[in-house]
Chain A
Amino acid sequence: MKAVEGLHYLSLLEVGEELRACRLSPVELTRATLDRIEKLNPTLGAYYVVFADEALAQARDAESEIASGRWRGPLHGVPIAFKDLYNLGPTTAGSPLLAANVAADEAALVRRARLAGAVIVGKLATHEFGLAAASLADQFPPARNPWDPERTPGGSSTGAGTALAAGLAFGAFGTDTGGSVRLPAAYCGVVGYKPTFGLLSRSGVIPLSPSLDHAGPLARTVADAAALAGAVRGYDPADPGSSQRDAGDQQDAPEAGARRLRAGVPRDFWEGSCDPAVAGLVEAALARLSALGVEVVDVSLGFSVLEVMAIGYVITLVEAAAYHLQNLRAGRVGYGREFGLVLRSGLLVPAHSYVHALNARARIARRVAGLLEQHDLLAMPTVGAIADSLPAGPRPLARRITQQPVPQYTWLANLTGGPAVSVPCGFAEPGLPVGLQLLGGSFDDATVLHVARAYEEAARWRDMHPPLWP
């Protein structure tokens, strides 16, 4: 058996292979992960709750199954975690409203991860109900960015980004309504993958905006993210958005993905809004893609990031307000200030504006589909900024509802429903990670994953880890 010391930054597939070959013990790996969580979580706040005893029991089961030749797949015996929007034991959605809530059942993806043999070590921090920014004054301490603990890890899957970047899990499942898997991935220097809408079940996940919500994995490598999604994907009649279509094999060799592909680059979408340091790293990444054989072609999206975000937010505000209206009417106490204000703002949006936003969404999706008829994927920054400082208290509503938002280019793929991956593409001053985002056509997840993986292999940013947490 291999010693577990120093394995915390290995990829999920690397430790999975060691486990499969019985060169590594699931119990020892889980114990080492729990020890690291115990040591670092008080500072980094990735986990709200840790299931130490249950995780060790799952690891023991995995050890005996693998030893007897019943290996279930790459997640078998590997410590992973779920964002605290998934029903699984104590489930708070990061809100004092649900501080005492214990889920009566388990989310579909939790059950499927268990069937795949994963060891579930805990629940990860989140922005309240997947939206309101965590602050230092919250009842639940905010997760911190491992590259600079005074800064946000990005949200809303905050704890997932922190856990992957600090070696506190080998994979995680988050949720993504406007970028909540890809934004923390970009800010923390890890991979975030939002699969095509309908591929991963959202049954048992507390919703924010059901027409935009996606489940998705965060991981340290693209192949890990694909493996996590592959282990749990598939039709689920309990999720009205679930699709019976498949997205093909996502585990191909990276060299199969890059050559002879065309990547459209809609600079009109980010120029003028993106931090120049971020834009410079993305341009370098595009040059790298070109060197890998991808034909990189300028295209025009025809919509600004403000327009895309405005459409996404109008839909989100209305759908979130509708979901929470009963609680608001009943005067239930416990919503954080920012989230309560956001919900009330959603109630002020008239029905015709919601319909206009849905029509606009369809128009934007048609434009992207048109571009993807001529190109295999689109490439752009994930977010046009580096991680900001953690706020001392609730953020003013005018920071959320604004005509000058932090430019989140992630919303585009939530409007289209197509796949999108954020992969690290370097570091901007003062040493904070930046993400490159690749978008594809619906159910063509394999193409964006292949190109992301080819880029990752060539650029090797994945070998960089936060120096504070060796």
Chain B
Amino acid sequence: MPKAGDEHQESITRRLEELGVATPPDEVEEIATAYDALLAWMRIAEELGADEDAPSAEAESI
């Protein structure tokens, strides 16, 4: 039976390994259960904090 966040476990493991932080599988599993909420927090940050002055295709200079 798949659990919440199962689909994130592989990428979480890879990211933490890249940073050199060993993490037991049961901890990766628990981090994955909260990962969707963490992504939601990051989306809130992007919605409220994206730089409105960033250049876009429409704003290309002459």
List the interface of chain A (C-beta within 8 A of B): 303, 306-307, 310-311, 313-314, 325, 328-329, 331, 337, 340-341, 344-345, 347-350, 352-353, 355-361, 363-364, 396-398, 400-403
Q: List 27 A-B contacts (CB under 8 A).
A: A310-B40, A310-B44, A313-B41, A314-B42, A314-B45, A325-B19, A337-B27, A341-B31, A341-B34, A344-B23, A344-B27, A345-B31, A347-B21, A348-B35, A348-B38, A356-B46, A358-B49, A359-B48, A359-B49, A359-B50, A359-B51, A360-B49, A361-B49, A364-B48, A396-B30, A401-B37, A401-B38
Is B2 among interface residues, defined by CB-CB distance under 8 A? no
Query: Residue B49 contacts which of A328, A344, A356, A398 (CB distance < 8 angstroms)?
Result: A356
Interface residue ranges of B6-32 to A (CB < 8 Å) = 12, 15-16, 19-23, 27, 30-31
Which listed residue (A310, A329, A337, A358) contacts B41, Cβ 8 A?
A310
In the complex, what distance in Å separates the CA atom of A303 from the CA atom of B47? 12
A361 to B21, CA, bound (A): 29
Number of interchain pairs (Cβ within 8 Å): 96
Question: What is the bound-complex CA distance between A313 and B42, given in angstroms?
Answer: 10
Query: Is the CB–CB distance between A331 and B22 below 8 Å?
Result: yes
Whether the Cβ atoms of B21 and A328 lie closer than 8 Å is: yes
Assess whether B15 is in contact with A397, with CB atoms less than 8 Å apart: no
Query: Whole-angstrom distance between the alpha carbons of A292 and B30 in the complex?
Result: 51
Contacts A307-B44, A348-B38, A402-B34 given; does A341 touch B27 at CB 8 Å? yes
* Closest CB in chain A relative to B39 CB, distance in Å: 9
Of A306, A345, A364, which is within 8 A of B34 by CB? A345
Q: Which residues of B contact A350 (CB under 8 A)?
A: 42
Q: Once the chains are docked, how many angstroms separate the CA of A352 from the CA of B43?
A: 11
Residue picked from A350, A358, A359, A364, most chain B C-beta under 10 Å: A359
Whether A360 and B48, one on each chain, are in contact in the complex, defined by CB atoms closer than 8 angstroms, is yes
Minimal beta-carbon separation of A406 from chain B (angstroms)? 14
Pair B12/A403 contact, Cβ less than 8 Å: no
Kindly list chain A residues whose C-beta atoms are within 8 Å of the C-beta of B44. Answer: 306-307, 310-311, 360
A330: min CB distance to chain B, Å? 9
Query: Within the assembled complex, what's the spacing in Å between the Cα atoms of A313 and B38?
Result: 9
Pick the most buried of A329, A344, A403: most chain B CB atoms within 10 A of its CB: A344
**5 more CB-based (< 8 A) A-B contacts, given A303-B48, A356-B46:** A328-B21, A348-B15, A359-B49, A363-B48, A398-B30
Question: In the complex, which of the residues A344, A355, A358 contacts B31, with contact meaning CB atoms closer than 8 Å?
Answer: A344
Bound complex: CA A435 to CA B22 (Å): 42
Enumerate chain A residues within 8 angstroms of B30, measured Cβ to Cβ: 341, 396-398
Report if A329-B19 is in contact (Cβ < 8 Å); known contacts: A306-B44, A360-B48.
Answer: yes
Contact between A344 and B50 (Cβ–Cβ < 8 Å)? no
Interface size on B, residues (CB 8 A): 26
Q: Please, how many angstroms separate the alpha-carbon atoms of A352 and B15 in the complex? A: 16
User: Do A397 and B41 touch (CB < 8 A)?
Assistant: no
Whether A307 contacts B42 by the Cβ 8 Å rule is no
A347 and B21 alpha carbons, distance in the complex (Å): 9
Chain B, residue nearest A353 (CB): B42
User: In the complex, how many angstroms separate the beta carbon of A334 from the nearest chain B beta carbon?
Assistant: 15
Q: B21 near A356 (CB under 8 angstroms)? A: no
Residues from chain A with a CB closer than 8 A to the CB of B34 are: 341, 345, 397-398, 400-402
Q: How far is the CA of A361 from the CA of B48 in the complex (A)?
A: 9
Q: Is there contact, CB below 8 Å, between B33 and A397? A: yes
- Residues of A within 8 Å of B49, CB to CB, are 311, 355-361, 363
> CB-CB < 8 A to A353: which residues of B?
42, 45-46
Task: Give A310 to B16 CA distance when docked, in angstroms.
Answer: 22
Measured between beta carbons, the chain A residues less than 8 angstroms from B42 are: 314, 349-350, 353, 356
Q: Which of A329, A401, A403 contacts B20, CB < 8 Å?
A: A329
Distance to closest chain A CB from B15 (angstroms): 6
C-alpha spacing A360/B48, complex, angstroms? 5
CA distance A352 to B46 in the complex (A): 9
Kindly state the separation between the CA atoms of A350 and B51 in the bound complex, as whole angstroms. 16
Q: A341: which B residues are within 8 A, CB to CB?
A: 27, 30-31, 34
- Known A341-B31, A356-B42, A401-B37; contact A329-B21, beta-carbon cutoff 8 A: yes
In the complex, A396→B26 CA distance in Å?
12
Distance in angstroms between the alpha carbons of A397 and B32 in the assembled complex: 9
- Check A348–B31 contact: CB distance below 8 A: yes
Q: B38 and A349: CB pair below 8 A?
A: yes
Q: Nearest Cβ in chain B — how far from A333, in angstroms?
A: 11
CB closest residue in chain B, given A324: B21
The residue from B16, B41, B50, B51 contacting A347, defined by CB atoms under 8 A apart: B16
Cα A353 to Cα B48 in complex, Å, equals 11
B38 and A345 contact, CB distance less than 8 A: yes
Contacts of A348 in B (CB 8 A): 12, 15-16, 31, 35, 38
Residues in B with CB closer than 8 Å to A364 are 48
Chain A residues with CB under 8 A of B51 = 359
B59 to chain A, nearest CB (A): 19
